[in-house]
């Protein structure tokens, strides 16, 4: 058994603390358990998702820990990933203090060829977890777990994103099939498109082959279904914004959409992916979307490696898109002037770097706008507001 000293953790005072680490996979779950006063990591394997076996294993560990004569509590951790947050909520419901750990924040061996097994990963996770409990800075990063409502609200924007990709794929497929027959400028979403296939002729003057025509019909049916689902999704979102209650996520969306250059879709994406949670300062805002710098300063070597890209990639992509729109629709704002003063008429890489910096500043300004109601300096609201 591996020995890990955890006698310095703050959990060893009035409580007898059982530390549990999970290594999760679809088929098997591996558990690492450390009892109070022990420096040995005991390992157990249960079937993936078997809560009955997990409950029995935790109860056994709790009974052993009770011999110390102190109240017993269990603290646990696992790496955030494919299993999502349901296990965290279940453990919390059982009275267990659980932490979801960001896998990328755990230090690993830097050798070119390093051993990697579930056993080693479990030991490494437990070591980082104990260091975090001792209060060691940057031992690992703990994931902010959203509420069930906040997590479910994200489905709206993510489903819309996926449906848009499907619609584009079906449209491009139909255009490609027709282009292969010498038929250009096809518009599959245009009314009467299917009726026009009866009279359309290929580049060499023939009618469409029957098998090809049948394939286009089936592809168009899927396209129409996706388009119909998109329309329903957007209609539902619009209805929710109209009935927004004060202080709700929908109210935040309406509040953001009052700014010129930010539409309902962009505002919904920002709220659902980013502003559903609270931030303490502007550094947390920039870090959440991965728009913080990563300098390399070692010895005489100094360089900037670009942004970290460690945060929410959907929010980061949306922030950069909105930054371009902000420059166009809010030319008189302080942020847009800051951008123009630095890039002028320069094109290419310098402009792209500057827009990323602007995106970070814009997200901080929008966070303050939602928290305090202070409009970004020089920004214009929609005339109808």
**Three-state SS for 34?**
strand
When computed from its CA atoms, the radius of gyration of the chain, rounded to whole angstroms, is: 27
Task: Tell me phi and psi for residue 228, to 5 degrees.
Answer: -65, -40
Q: Going residue by residue through the chain (385 aa), what tens digit of pLDDT does each one get? A: 445 544 444 444 678 899 999 999 999 999 999 999 888 999 999 999 999 999 999 999 999 999 888 899 999 999 999 999 999 999 999 999 999 999 989 988 888 888 888 889 999 999 999 999 999 988 999 999 999 999 999 999 999 999 999 999 999 999 999 999 999 989 999 999 999 998 999 999 999 999 999 999 999 999 999 999 999 999 999 999 999 999 999 999 999 999 999 999 999 999 999 999 999 999 999 999 999 888 888 888 888 888 888 889 999 999 999 999 999 999 999 999 999 999 988 999 999 999 999 999 999 999 999 999 999 999 999 875 4
- Give the Cα separation of 349 and 356 in Å (integer): 11
33 in Cβ contact with 42 (< 8 Å): yes
* pTM of the predicted model as reported, rounded to 2 decimal places: 0.85
Give whole-number Cα distances, 149 to 154, 198, 277, in Å: 9, 49, 12
- In 3D space, the residue among 2, 68, 82 whose CA is nearest the CA of residue 37 turns out to be 68
Strand ranges for 179-334 from DSSP E: 293-298, 301-307
pLDDT digits (tens, 9 = 90+) for 32-53: 999 998 889 999 999 999 999 9
Q: Which residue has the tokens 């928290």?
A: 371
How many helices (H) does the chain have, and how many strands (E)? 12, 7
Residue range 216-256, pLDDT digits in tens: 999 999 999 999 999 999 999 999 999 999 999 999 999 99
Strand pairing of 293-298 and 301-307? antiparallel
């Amino acid at each position: 058994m591996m020995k890990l000293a955890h006698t310095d953790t703050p959990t060893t005072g009035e409580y007898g603390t059982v530390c549990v680490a999970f290594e999760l996979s679809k088929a098997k779950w591996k558990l690492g358990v450390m009892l109070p006063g022990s420096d040995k990591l005991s390992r157990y394997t249960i079937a993936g998702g078997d809560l009955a076996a997990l409950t029995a294993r935790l109860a056994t560990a709790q009974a052993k820990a009770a011999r110390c004569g102190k109240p017993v509590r269990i603290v646990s951790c696992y790496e955030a990933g494919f299993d999502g947050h349901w296990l965290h909520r279940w453990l919390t419901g059982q009275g267990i203090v659980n932490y979801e750990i960001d896998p990328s924040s755990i230090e690993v061996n830097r050798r070119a060829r390093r051993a990697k097994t579930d056993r080693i990963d479990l030991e490494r996770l437990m070591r980082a977890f104990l260091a975090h409990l001792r209060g060691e800075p940057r031992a690992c990063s703990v994931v902010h777990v959203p509420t069930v409502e906040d997590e479910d609200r994200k489905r709206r924007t993510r489903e819309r994103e996926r449906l848009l990709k499907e619609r584009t794929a079906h449209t491009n497929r139909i255009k490609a099939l027709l282009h292969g027959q010498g038929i250009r400028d096809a518009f599959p979403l245009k009314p009467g498109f299917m009726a026009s296939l009866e009279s359309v002729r290929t580049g060499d003057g023939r009618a469409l082959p029957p098998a090809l025509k049948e394939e286009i019909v089936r592809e168009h049916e899927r396209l129409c279904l996706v388009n119909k689902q998109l329309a329903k999704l957007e209609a539902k979102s619009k209805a929710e914004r109209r009935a927004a209650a004060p202080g709700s996520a929908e109210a935040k969306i309406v509040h953001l959409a009052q700014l010129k250059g930010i539409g309902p879709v962009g505002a919904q994406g920002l709220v659902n992916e980013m502003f559903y949670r609270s931030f303490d300062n502007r550094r947390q805002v920039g870090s959440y979307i991965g728009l913080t710098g990563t300098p390399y300063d070692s010895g005489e070597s100094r360089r900037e490696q670009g942004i970290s890209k460690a945060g929410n990639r959907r929010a980061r992509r949306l922030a950069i898109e909105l930054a371009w729109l902000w420059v166009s629709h809010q030319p008189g704002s302080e942020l847009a002037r800051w951008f123009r003063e630095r890039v002028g008429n320069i094109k290419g890489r310098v402009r792209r770097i500057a827009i990323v910096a602007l995106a970070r500043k814009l997200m901080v300004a929008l966070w303050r706008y939602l928290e305090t109601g202070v409009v970004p300096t020089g920004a214009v609201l929609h005339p109808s507001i």
